[in-house]
Structure 1
């Protein structure tokens, strides 16, 4: 038997099948061994490497170019900062898991004092109501995105008209075809909105796999550590380094630099329609100022990299990397030191005017009670804090009084609406008038009152415009004219009579007023006027709410050592309370400094301003919008006023060049000019300037002299007065000095308004003349250079990241005003004599450089102070700088002249910078009539 087996084996080994079988057996054993190694010995390691090795393409952020002043001092730059980003992780499969993770992330971020991204145009109010914060095409684009449509035209009529509540519900719960974000009702509305905002950003990147969304930026190392500690519970969340835009001495330059922010849907679409596909959701772009206007030059080129990451987002391998490149650098003509000094001088002078006009009651000027009320009206005192759980005892006591007053004030409003109070607007109390104005704003802004359907020729319209009819009568009149849009009142029954419409309108108004911040301000101010809130309590609130830091003045205040009036006076004097905080007249100003030799702008100041570094803070931005001094408004470029007597050099030039006067022509001031139209008086109604020639007329700012020149410009070839002929001749010279166009400065600017009527009134800078400080600055620059008309510029040059020149922005002379030498001499000598005038001599007498200037006063509103203007240049013989100052409602030109003198003193090194302990200027209250 054994022998047979051995023989079989012997035969088998000699067989070809054996060789093949042995080979395959060996391979099988090898395979088993390899599988054992892979699955048992090294299984865990290979599983990690294989399962979570995901290829990911990411963008590398680029830094914006730096903005410098003329001397290379940095105004805007970038710094690296940590950002928290999120991407749609495959490890979270359900909506519930995603929402829970996002909520954990939100709690971590907010618990550390930061806010999460919120770019959806939906606002949630304290009472739980919502509204869209965008309108028109912007709102429709958001709706289109939520419904997943490619364009607006694909929206159904129902979708186009969706309410904000319906759209939010769709985002949370979807419909029969989709669950959308699946945010269940266990979350509060506020939290659900926050989750929806982040889910929306991820939803917008659903076709761009692994592109992350920045949830919050510029976070602390402490928060970074917390995120990393919770990495396992936050799949898809990573820490990335990004660039944050930083502004040096921001408030002085923000009207020039502007600020940056996250790109909006509208902006993204605009860039893409312009063929620029480099931008994506979440990118940072310029929003205003030079940041916006030179976005293409400042914005860098993003890089990209391809990496392999594990489940926690950690990079395992960099497969490919293309570095980003920074943007180009922008050098300005602005002198940083001039700009800061000019801003400080404006603030000090305006504060000085406020102090000079401040009174404890019973006289013209600024009543101290107006100051107390200003803290409420201007949002300096936070009314929401009064009812907060953390409110102080003082705040709680004041709020308790407010609640008792609120119901009675609602009763007052009901009486205005139901006809119980039929007093006309003019016959109402101050608080009642404010309620009426608020109600009109509410129904107009909500699209309920369509004033275009009300004819200004109707008797009731005219009575309303002049304040001579009641609110009740006006609203019934509007309903009768079909000017009340019933559809906007959210009424299901559209077949209503006028009484039913009025009842619905009344209900809408009362609901809108409930919790309305403007309504609350009126009530608090009424309480202040009635003595329910004292001035001392207002002062104490400034400390309670952190507006002021507690100091020795606080102790003196609460211990009745210092009364409220003295306390406020001292705080304004020390600039701890500044004019912009009060928004009383005056609270603003502009100052422009130019070099007449080349048209460069050395300072371009708008007061008040804002901190561009804080613009991303929602609370801070809201306070800027609430501030009635309008810190976001670039007054130097946008605010137009009548030039007043600063215009008279143009009239003098027109008269001299057109031959209607000569340098030796004398005109007798008869005080009242009555040759044509309504008689117009010289500013001096008590005495005549006598018989004077043009230089004396400029010095004395004699209106009668320039009325006569304007009149003579209107005398045609038939020796008849022709107003149209006269204004065209005068407009020719306005245009020669550049007042027919914007100044050339590379920022948004209001269009000038050259008067097109009445050469007599136009000749003194009134009628329809209206210009910005920047336009007046170009005009006086042309005067100082004796005819060189520049497009003013705030740009010096553009360089690449290596500081190699790309473009030189040196201004060019766009025209030259070719006047006779005698004309220029007359203008120069007249402006030189202005400084020798008794009013201005006291201001400029201490200056060791000869100055030429011209003051101007313009009245815009008879109930408010006059605007004050001053244009100047120095040195007189060879001008190096011009200074233009405009103080809206600044009580005339004397104060503007004081600012101009102080600025010139600084430019010519005769006083030091006021960047230490500053105080309000000592304003004398001198009046210059011009």
Structure 2
């Protein structure tokens, strides 16, 4: 035995196996020593070094500064609210498992959010239409960037044709992208989720995708959610992995409707905003909330404050493992505006009252047909036709829907016939069919199927279309041959389709889309009302059914039994402004007013009617509300004080008087005879008083009488001044010179969006009375009349002061000005001011009015529409303190604008209370509503 062992060992140690074993043993020993060194000897050091490599930081958002009026009334502030968020912190064994789990959780929470009436935060670049189709809500470079992000490319230049998916990435449609994202290789969204829910899951999953390399970051699903939603999440926290309730600061606005055009609103930062702001301030992140419009946007850097910072370690899958440090944020600065909030509100209501009075009076007189009121209820979405098909629809709504479906079927049949078998030229169509095809072409342009930028407007066939001499079929077929149609939007193979196939696909696209298009349906509804297929009584009852009006049993019963006519019912609601002019969107439905402190040049009120609820646009846009604003025919998103331009009417005659006096073509004592017609130029324009006349007028009397012939003569003399004979360009040069002195050819300096007014460029005789191509904003007219009253051309601004979080004034604002008082002598200024005083003294609107007011009216014509009514003035006449400019677009007469001005001035001087303004309603309807050009 001993020999055998000895012999075995001898053979083993002398064999190659021993050498191999020895090598393995040595290597194993080295590995053990290395592991000991790494984990025990140097373990702590390596752990620290590893942690340092994945140390991260995240901003702690600063509280946004408040906004106040001049008296310290709070207008914009932050409020604590709850938001629902999700993060991608859970680890899964496979993509399939992750998709199944995450989609199920999202389906659950998104269903809860919808049932509880919460709004989904949605910055996705694709919208889902009511018919279940998809469309892009961005275009150009933004759309290209979105496509690149979807397909994981560094830039749009890298997009290519993918043989595996069959998608041309650079031209991928919204439908293709949705199919791609919902596919098993991406979000894996099961067909068990209905179309709307699947879409909303994609919205959240795509937002989460942006955080795939920073899983500690949360995606906010919904903001300012109800206690009911918070309770649900808290109760189901164990099953809703990664979903949490967070405290959040949201932006809130007092006096929202009255200040929306000034203050604006906040919202999630866009890609372009981030790029611009990050260049100036590296603290900006792509998750920030920023000012989107108005003062919120202009003073973003002051309001924003300074973010704090939290530093932490994250693990290898991007989750926070340890908090290192935290630096507190510094609140933003507070803004104090020059605006008086109470005055702003009073003016808004006064404008609404006067506009309602005009509408009421014109319905009563027949100037506005009552049928226009009925159709407006549908046309401007006072009544929501989509509610007719809801489970909770009333019997009246269901009855109207039944009739509509029958009529819709007939209408779609006619449209199909026009597109295919029996086309007719536009000029032979009925008004109804013409309106329908006008909308269809507009829809194709909006959907970017008909490429309006590609259309050659000089093309002979296009000209025939504009002249209504060809049919839609002929026009659309021609558009296809000219490549004005984007074939990629249609369900055809671009490479092999001929023009007939493309046209067939286009027809199918049109018929499919108009069937579910709310705006197209409105056209059908409106003609049904006109034909009596839907009764006015049904419409009035639906106003109660949908909560547009507070339910009133007695009134409803009277409507049902016929003891109260729909006409009388609606007239009362319009009179009481329970249905507003903005809701009806008839002419007039808009107005604007600017009041300025004459002594300091500070704006005390700047009102645009109608406004909107900025609380619904802040903190993530309520997309349904925003869409309603965009379709609203009263255009509440437009600032009528700063962005709308119309002819100034006779308010411009003060410029002409200034030019005539300064250039010595008239003196204060010169008299010019008005015979009612001006015979010195070929078109022989008339005075507004024709066939009457004003006789002999000097400049003071001409301003009082607003005599056109006097100012035609001034314009003619200005055109002759330089050479002694009439020269159009020379006359315009002088008119432009004095318009410039008053600042009418410039923006006023406001911090918010403002259109530049336009001074006339031709026809000095007509320009002298405010016609030609003169076009001015209300705020420009305000600065102009302030300059007339004070001799100072102010640079306007809305800011009073900026105060930091500690109450220290950071910046104080004072309006600077240019002294223009030496443009005229004191006696010449007196003549203009006296004429303005006489304008007001002779107006019935100001009879018995205790405050002495000076002003000038203006009635500006607009072809095919009611005249615009304007008034500019100041008070008190003997020692001006405020100036005022009022415009009621399509307000029929300048006297209506003057009435609104009187009510504003009365409130300012406490002759009228806020209660009086509120109770006034449409009581101002007392004549002068005809479409007269009298001033």
TM-score of the aligned structures, taking structure 1 as reference length: 0.88
Query: Is 2:198 the partner of 1:192?
Result: yes
1:755-785 C-alpha deviation (Å, 9 max, x unpaired): 1111111101111100110111111110110
Give the equivalent residue in structure 2 for 1:121. Answer: 125
Structure 2 counterpart SS, 1:859: strand
C-alpha distance in 1 between matches for 2:174 and 2:150: 12
Of 385, 389, 392 in structure 1, the residue corresponding to residue 391 of structure 2 is: 389
Relative to structure 1, is the Cα distance of residues 775 and 120 closer, same or farther in structure 2, using a 3 angstrom cutoff? Answer: same
Give the equivalent residue in structure 1 for 2:270. Answer: 264
Give the equivalent residue in structure 1 for 2:177. Answer: 167
Residue 400 of structure 1: how far off its partner (Å): 1.0
1:408-457 C-alpha deviation (Å, 9 max, x unpaired): 112222343347352543x4333122112112212333344455666656
1:699-731 C-alpha deviation (Å, 9 max, x unpaired): 111111111100100114432111001100110
CA contact (8 A) 2:857 2:870 kept: yes
Residue 747 of structure 1: how far off its partner (Å): 0.7
C-alpha distance in 1 between matches for 2:725 and 2:557: 74
Residue 475 of structure 1: how far off its partner (Å): 4.2
Relative to structure 1, is the Cα distance of residues 554 and 454 closer, same or farther in structure 2, using a 3 angstrom cutoff? Answer: same
1:553-574 C-alpha deviation (Å, 9 max, x unpaired): 2232223221101110111111
CA contact (8 A) 1:56 1:210 kept: no
Relative to structure 1, is the Cα distance of residues 459 and 98 closer, same or farther in structure 2, using a 3 angstrom cutoff? Answer: closer
CA contact (8 A) 2:720 2:726 kept: yes
C-alpha distance in 1 between matches for 2:644 and 2:763: 23
Relative to structure 1, is the Cα distance of residues 889 and 153 closer, same or farther in structure 2, using a 3 angstrom cutoff? Answer: same
Q: How many residues align?
A: 861
Give the equivalent residue in structure 2 for 1:87. Answer: 87
Deviates more, 1:465-474 or 1:721-730: 465-474
Deviates more, 1:488-497 or 1:287-296: 488-497
Relative to structure 1, is the Cα distance of residues 746 and 57 closer, same or farther in structure 2, using a 3 angstrom cutoff? Answer: closer
Structure 2 counterpart SS, 1:719: coil
Deviates more, 1:623-632 or 1:86-95: 86-95
C-alpha distance in 2 between matches for 1:56 and 1:704: 77
C-alpha distance in 1 between matches for 2:807 and 2:290: 22
Query: Is 2:857 the partner of 1:852?
Result: no
CA contact (8 A) 1:122 1:130 kept: yes
Residue 671 of structure 1: how far off its partner (Å): 2.4
Deviates more, 1:798-807 or 1:163-172: 163-172
Relative to structure 1, is the Cα distance of residues 317 and 581 closer, same or farther in structure 2, using a 3 angstrom cutoff? Answer: same
Query: Is 2:563 the partner of 1:553?
Result: no
C-alpha distance in 2 between matches for 1:136 and 1:769: 35
Give the equivalent residue in structure 1 for 2:740. Answer: 735
Mark the runs of 5 or more structure 1 residues left unpaired by the alignment.
1-53
Give the equivalent residue in structure 2 for 1:294. Answer: 299
Structure 2 counterpart SS, 1:366: coil
User: In the TM superposition, what are the counterparts of 1:832-843 in structure 2 within 5 Å?
Assistant: 832-837=837-842, 840=843, 842-843=844-845
1:866-892 C-alpha deviation (Å, 9 max, x unpaired): 000000100111110011110000011
User: In the TM superposition, what are the counterparts of 1:433-472 in structure 2 within 5 Å?
Assistant: 433-450=434-451, 461-467=462-468, 470-472=471-473
Give the equivalent residue in structure 2 for 1:64. Answer: 64
Residue 382 of structure 1: how far off its partner (Å): 1.2
Relative to structure 1, is the Cα distance of residues 183 and 385 closer, same or farther in structure 2, using a 3 angstrom cutoff? Answer: same
C-alpha distance in 1 between matches for 2:489 and 2:111: 38
Structure 2 counterpart SS, 1:89: coil
Residue 817 of structure 1: how far off its partner (Å): 4.3
Residue 398 of structure 1: how far off its partner (Å): 1.1
Of 788, 794, 807 in structure 1, the residue corresponding to residue 792 of structure 2 is: 788
Give the equivalent residue in structure 1 for 2:76. Answer: 76
Give the equivalent residue in structure 1 for 2:217. Answer: 211
Structure 2 counterpart SS, 1:668: strand
Deviates more, 1:576-585 or 1:620-629: 620-629
C-alpha distance in 1 between matches for 2:505 and 2:111: 42
C-alpha distance in 2 between matches for 1:570 and 1:131: 43
CA contact (8 A) 2:426 2:434 kept: no
Relative to structure 1, is the Cα distance of residues 561 and 341 closer, same or farther in structure 2, using a 3 angstrom cutoff? Answer: same
Query: Is 2:276 the partner of 1:276?
Result: no
Residue 214 of structure 1: how far off its partner (Å): 1.3
1:287-319 C-alpha deviation (Å, 9 max, x unpaired): 111111111111122223357999xx9999865
Deviates more, 1:891-900 or 1:477-486: 477-486
TM-score of the aligned structures, taking structure 2 as reference length: 0.88
C-alpha distance in 1 between matches for 2:242 and 2:818: 58
C-alpha distance in 1 between matches for 2:376 and 2:500: 39
Query: Is 2:347 the partner of 1:331?
Result: no
Give the equivalent residue in structure 1 for 2:372. Answer: 370
CA contact (8 A) 1:62 1:243 kept: no
Structure 2 counterpart SS, 1:231: coil
Relative to structure 1, is the Cα distance of residues 890 and 67 closer, same or farther in structure 2, using a 3 angstrom cutoff? Answer: same
C-alpha distance in 2 between matches for 1:211 and 1:707: 70
C-alpha distance in 1 between matches for 2:222 and 2:206: 15
Give the equivalent residue in structure 2 for 1:532. Answer: 533
User: In the TM superposition, what are the counterparts of 1:454-493 in structure 2 within 5 Å?
Assistant: 461-467=462-468, 470-475=471-476, 478=479, 483-484=484-485, 486=487, 488-492=489-493
Structure 1 counterpart SS, 2:865: coil
Of 681, 686, 701 in structure 1, the residue corresponding to residue 691 of structure 2 is: 686
CA contact (8 A) 1:789 1:817 kept: no
Q: CA RMSD in A?
A: 2.5
1:333-356 C-alpha deviation (Å, 9 max, x unpaired): 000111000000000111111110
Deviates more, 1:315-324 or 1:547-556: 315-324
Residue 394 of structure 1: how far off its partner (Å): 1.3
Residue 620 of structure 1: how far off its partner (Å): 2.2
CA contact (8 A) 1:62 1:325 kept: yes
Mark the runs of 5 or more structure 2 residues left unpaired by the alignment.
1-53, 162-167
C-alpha distance in 2 between matches for 1:697 and 1:85: 69
CA contact (8 A) 1:145 1:204 kept: no
Residue 249 of structure 1: how far off its partner (Å): 1.6
C-alpha distance in 1 between matches for 2:155 and 2:384: 42
CA contact (8 A) 1:487 1:494 kept: no
